Amino acid sequence: MKEGEVYYDAARETMSPDERKRYVNESLRDIVQYAYHNAPAVKEKMGRVGVTPSDIVTAKDLEKIPITRKDDFSELQKLNPPFGGFLGIPHTKTVFVSPGPIYEPEIPEVQFNAVAKALCAAGFRQGDVVTVTVSFHLVPAAAHFAGGAEKLGLT
């Protein structure tokens, strides 16, 4: 890290390429394992092509899992409301509705941290005053920006 550089999560944002690759692959294995055992649609999708969590070792291995396109979610969610079997947690704070309609769960600890990291990378610092110009309505963008700004200590 250079003098004066600021990071939201310095340990992760300053990893060497080899460390980052190792971290991403380890995290990916954990995420796939969790999703397989907690989100029925993930298990079903992987099962259709004979893939198990142990087959996903690196990001390249994700090619083994069929893609779920955004356009597919509306139909999948009609068949298995509200999230089409893709939600792997027992509770969500808020449900947003995007065009489609597609129902999206809000998971603040994940989404707000991602936005806070992006705002920090863009140069925002604690105490700065920001205006969220995205509409606060049924889609999640504005809530995510506001939550990320709050995590970063922005007004």
Give pLDDT, residue 3. 63
Percent of the chain at pLDDT exceeding 70: 97
Locus of tokens 């205006």? 131
What is the H or E stretch that residue 23 is in? helix 17-38
Share of the chain above pLDDT 90, in %: 77
pLDDT band at 8 (very low <50, low <70, confident <90, very high): very high
pLDDT at 139: 78
Give the model confidence (pLDDT) of 37-95 as tens digits.
Answer: 999 999 999 999 999 999 999 999 999 999 999 889 999 999 999 999 999 988 888 89
Other CB atoms within 10 Å distance of the CB of residue 84 = 21
Three-state secondary structure call for residue 15:
coil
- Among the listed residues 113, 151, 145, 148, the one whose alpha carbon sits nearest the alpha carbon of residue 13: 113
